[in-house]
Structure formats: C-alpha cells, structure tokens
A and B are shown apart, each in its own frame.
Chain A
Amino acid sequence: MPPITRWFVRSALLWFLLALSTGVLLAGGVSADIPGTDWIFPYPTYLHLLTVGWLTNLIFGVAFWMFPRYSAEHPRGSETLGWLAYAGLNAGLLLRLVGEPIQMSGGHARAWLLLSAGFQLLGAWAFVLNTWPRVKVK
C-alpha cells in the first residue's frame, strides 16, 4: 500500500469517528433542547464529514492504490496530483468544520468558507485528472 493511500485511509477512519461523534452530539443536543446545538454542529457539516471525510477519502485512497497502472515508470500517475487531492480534500474539510459554525453563529468566517470551497474543488479535480488516464483495459 503506497504512503498516500495510508494517509487517505487513516484520515478517512478519523473523519468517520468524528462524523459519528458529531451525529451523537447533534442528536443528543437537539433532543435535550440545548441551545445552539444546530449551529455548533451544523447538519451540513455532519453530512460532509461522512460523505467527504469518510467515504471520499476512502474511495480516493483505494482507487489511487488499486486502479490499473498509468505506466511502468509512474504506475500511479502523478504523485503530485495525488498529494494535491489529499491536501485539498482534507484541508478544505477542516476549514469547513471550523468556518461553518462560526458563520452560522453570526461570526465572520467568509475567508474560511471560500478557502474551504476552493481547496475541496482543487482536491476533487486533482483526483479526477490523475485517475482519468488510469481508467483503461488492463
């Protein structure tokens, strides 16, 4: 398993735990009528922790490892694009995790959210660019 896949999969596992913990705190806070629960743990953040943090990191990591080789010299395509995908996706999600509650509570986290959007887009497109030429008949 290449190092980048280990980073993707271990990060996926950490996001998975954080997502489900957030789910417990969100449901618990709402059912106990604790004020501010819905902006401390916004539902969109919870959903993205699961779908981006857990599922997408796991898919990216395993695809980078298991897809057909790009070439003998560069079996996994561009390592740079792979690391860009990892950094973009995870930095973007981290920025959202902090920025979205601040913004929803009436604070100013515009830059955090804009950077988050840009980083996640960069991560997704880097993965697409690197994976596209590896989708071929073995």
Chain B
Amino acid sequence: MLLVRTALCWLAAGAAMGALLLGAKAVPMPVGVFRLFALHAEALLIGWMVQFAMGVAWWILPKYPRLPERGPAGPIWAAWLLLNAGVLLAGIGRSLGAPEATVVAGRIAELLGATAFAAAAWPRVKAFGR
C-alpha cells in the first residue's frame, strides 16, 4: 500500500512540475522553473513508474502458505525508504546544483532499494499455491 500511495504522490508532484516546465516553453517563467527538470524526470521515472510497478508486484506475486504471507516486512520497508531517499537526493540534488556526490549517493540509494526489493520478491516468483 505504501509503495503504491507514495508512487501516486510522486505522480501528482511530477505532473505538476511537468506542467510548469511545458508551460515555461510557452510563456516566460522564472529561470528556476527549468531547474525542476531533473526532479521531474526522477520523480516520474523512479518515484512513479518504478515504485508503482514494485508496489503492484508486491501485492500480486504469489503469497507464502504461512504467515507473514508476503514475507518479512523489513526488506520492503528498506526498499521503500532507500528508493524514495534516492529520488529526493538525486532529483533535488541535481535540480539545486548540489555536488555530484549527492546525485551519486541518490543513485546508490535507489540501487540498494531495488536490491532489497529484488531479494524480498525473488522467492515469491513461483507457481501459485506452492
């Protein structure tokens, strides 16, 4: 639930930034608006699409016959935390012109989040009922 709801938040925010960026091609806007580009791309590609796919996969992959039926909660919380920290660091970092190390740290956080998710989802990729 948290992954999908956070993805919806990024969609709402990313679409608003996109509307501003497209509007800035038509009417003069403060230069700062163009800096939103990096955050717009990070929010919609990773925050929205990737996170939404992770959330739906977590919901729909075959469950375990025992509790907790979707497996331990720890790795999926870690995935959520790392992925969103990564989007914030990489997106805001690049938009604000922060040192490149900030963007790299964000991308590493996203990778670690994806790794935590893959490790948690891996054993659930199996035939239903097994």
Known: A51-B44, A103-B26. A117 touches B19 (CB 8 A): yes
Closest to B44 in A: A51
Interface residues on B, range: 20 to 34
Q: Which residues of A contact B18 (CB under 8 A)?
A: 117, 120-121
The yes or no answer to B11 lying at the interface (CB within 8 A) is: yes
Q: How far is the CA of A120 from the CA of B26 in the complex (A)?
A: 15
Q: Mark B41-68, 1 if CB is under 8 A from A, else 0.
A: 0001100010010001000000000000
Q: Is A127 a contact partner of B16 (Cβ separation < 8 A)? A: no
The yes or no answer to A110 lying at the interface (CB within 8 A) is: yes
Q: Considering residues A112, A116, A117, A132, which has the most beta carbons from chain B within 10 angstroms of its beta carbon?
A: A117
Number of residue pairs spanning A and B whose beta carbons lie under 8 angstroms apart: 57
- 28 A-B pairs with C-beta separation under 8 A: A51-B44, A59-B52, A103-B25, A103-B26, A109-B26, A110-B26, A110-B27, A112-B26, A113-B22, A113-B25, A113-B26, A114-B23, A114-B26, A114-B27, A117-B18, A117-B23, A120-B18, A121-B15, A124-B11, A125-B12, A125-B15, A128-B8, A131-B8, A132-B8, A135-B4, A135-B8, A136-B1, A137-B1
A-side residues, CB < 8 A to B, are 51, 55, 59, 63, 96, 100, 103, 109-114, 116-118, 120-121, 124-125, 127-128, 131-132, 135-137
Q: A112-B26, A117-B20 are in contact. List 20 more A-B contacts (CB 8 A).
A: A59-B52, A109-B26, A111-B26, A113-B22, A113-B23, A113-B25, A113-B26, A114-B23, A117-B19, A118-B19, A120-B15, A120-B22, A121-B19, A124-B12, A124-B15, A125-B12, A127-B11, A128-B11, A132-B5, A137-B1
